[in-house]
């Protein structure tokens, strides 16, 4: 089992978590502390646990979450 600690914007995190549930992505997600950045964004600590064989699937889901959040910001 591989563990990856990361920090991400809560919007990206919410999009990623939604995909994890809807698409049954094989990852355990533990969320930690949230805090405000100086630019007004909210960040969150996350721990992702997954089998190394699923790493490409996890990376694709994270990339999609980032891209979807960018599109969301551009439409506001």
Give the pLDDT of the chain (76 residues) as one tens digit per residue: 999 999 999 999 999 999 999 999 999 999 999 999 998 889 999 999 999 999 999 999 999 999 999 988 777 6
Exposure on the CB side of residue 30, measured as CA atoms within 13 A: 7
Question: How remote is the C-alpha of 5 from its chain's centroid?
Answer: 11
Query: How many of the other CB atoms lie within 10 Å of CB of 69?
Result: 19
Query: How many of the other CB atoms lie within 10 Å of CB of 72?
Result: 12
The residues near 31 (Cβ < 8 Å, ≥ 6 apart) are 13, 44, 45, 46
> Which domain does 53 fall in, by range?
2-75
Prediction pTM value: 0.88
The residue whose two tokens read 């997600």 is 29
What CATH number is associated with residue 52?
3.30.1370
Q: How many domains does the chain have?
A: 1
């Amino acid at each position: 089992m591989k563990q990856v600690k990361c920090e991400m914007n809560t919007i990206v995190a919410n999009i990623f978590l939604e995909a994890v549930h809807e698409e049954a992505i094989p990852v355990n997600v533990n969320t930690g502390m949230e805090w405000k950045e100086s630019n007004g964004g909210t960040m969150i600590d996350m721990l992702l646990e997954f089998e190394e064989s699923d790493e490409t699937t996890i990376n694709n889901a994270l990339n999609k979450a980032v891209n979807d959040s960018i599109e969301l910001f551009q439409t506001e």
